[in-house]
Structure 1
């Protein structure tokens, strides 16, 4: 573990220097991220200027769903952004180099790019979450507050596991097919459905987003647990699904590496 942390820190330092060297480009990307976040916050507020609730949720309730989505998505992007480079790494032969290094290839791929711009975006997200918490949890007792917040944190971490598993599944398919862009953009489109409570969607789509593409488990379940709306059965289901998806993703990754053909072959 200490060795992995050391390797990650060195790669992160290299990524930071690269982003700092291209300061104006990085500033443009960062500004775009803040503008996008700001527009979605304004969008949520604009909705509630015309309706009192959305699927039974108040403004603060819908806001916590959106902010939880942003939190899980941004944290996952910080640590596994390197997976987005797998297609290029294969085409340029870097994957061959990763496979002979004395480190887990999956860890090396995930750590290949650390996006510090997403780290900076976390500050306003966490600030807004801290601002909303008293407004939606102020009526709870200390014991119930501790339970709800603990479940929220645990399910957010569980959501990160699911995000990691989905990215590994996509990377595994990329190793086999060398085609990644379409699959990754499909995932990005699907995960964007988690910006709002899945209760607003039709029952069939809710089922799809829970068991097939577990976006609901990844970003909606933490918010429901925080609001005290998630049953014990669904809490258990969330952890079971994340375990199954992670096991399937790792198995497919190992299988893909066994069938990997070097770019030079």
Structure 2
């Protein structure tokens, strides 16, 4: 683990040196991120002029949900998204040779080979919203403080689960390239579905709600961690979510290993 952390740090420094000359990208992306988030808040404020809640969620809770979604999206974009989305072309073109020859896990190197430094904007904005929500929640505490501490711990753990699940599903799309060829179009479809996770899943029709909790579990990405932050979760479903996350991640590793057996080098 220490070695992997050192490698990620090295990848970050290399990416920073590569992207630092293009500082204008940081400014434009920061403005774009703020505008995108503000437009979402503005739309919500219009809706909440006519109602006190949306699918049982208050305005404050949905803003927190948007912040959680922004943070998760930022972390994924910062560390893995660009790498994973380039994988299908590398697999089909036989350009994984250098990765395979390195004395480190090929899945790890393929996932974390570079960083999108400017995604720090999304991470910071999401973190700002989360910290603000937690701070406000603490000032409004009416229950036992220890109960909220437990909810916060559950929230952090489920945030880690949401990152693992989001990463795993993207890796599934990339890894299918070993069997199906270029699967990059799958990322477009998945991203379209994934954006539905930034709103309360309860607001969707029953079938869509079931879909977002099962076959494409983007409901776990932000909605469940945010719900747990405000309401907590009993031990059984909480442990169940952790177990499901581990199974999904283990299947991701298995699928990658199976796919690597089918890999053909460009020089072979």
TM-score norm. by structure 2 comes to: 0.90
* Cα gap change, 1:187 to 1:88, in 2 (>3 Å): same
2:62 aligned residue: 62
Which residues in structure 2 correspond to 1:50-199 (within 5 Å)? 50-81=50-81, 82-90=83-91, 93-137=94-138, 138-139=140-141, 140-199=143-202
What secondary structure is seen at the aligned counterpart in 1 of 2:149? helix
Query: Which moved further from structure 2: 58-67 or 129-138?
Result: 129-138
Work out the CA distance in 2 between the residues paired with 1:27 and 1:89.
31
What secondary structure is seen at the aligned counterpart in 2 of 1:212? coil
Query: Which moved further from structure 2: 231-240 or 57-66?
Result: 231-240
Asked if the contact 1:19–1:26 (Cα under 8 Å) also holds between the matched residues in 2, the reply is no
* Cα gap change, 1:169 to 1:76, in 2 (>3 Å): same
Provide Cα deviations, 1:190-218, integer angstroms capped at 9, x if missing partner: 11111111111122222211121111122
1:134 Cα offset (Å): 4.0
What secondary structure is seen at the aligned counterpart in 1 of 2:195? helix
What secondary structure is seen at the aligned counterpart in 1 of 2:246? helix
1:133 Cα offset (Å): 2.5
Asked if the contact 2:89–2:182 (Cα under 8 Å) also holds between the matched residues in 1, the reply is no
* Cα gap change, 1:37 to 1:126, in 2 (>3 Å): same
Unaligned runs of 5+ in 2: none
Is residue 33 from structure 1 mapped to residue 33 from structure 2 by the alignment? yes
* Cα gap change, 1:23 to 1:183, in 2 (>3 Å): same
TM-score norm. by structure 1 comes to: 0.91
Asked if the contact 1:60–1:135 (Cα under 8 Å) also holds between the matched residues in 2, the reply is no
Work out the CA distance in 2 between the residues paired with 1:176 and 1:102.
26
* Cα gap change, 1:40 to 1:228, in 2 (>3 Å): same
Query: Which moved further from structure 2: 213-222 or 89-98?
Result: 89-98
Give the root-mean-square deviation of aligned CA atoms. 2.0
1:228 aligned residue: 231
1:15 aligned residue: 15
1:27 Cα offset (Å): 3.4
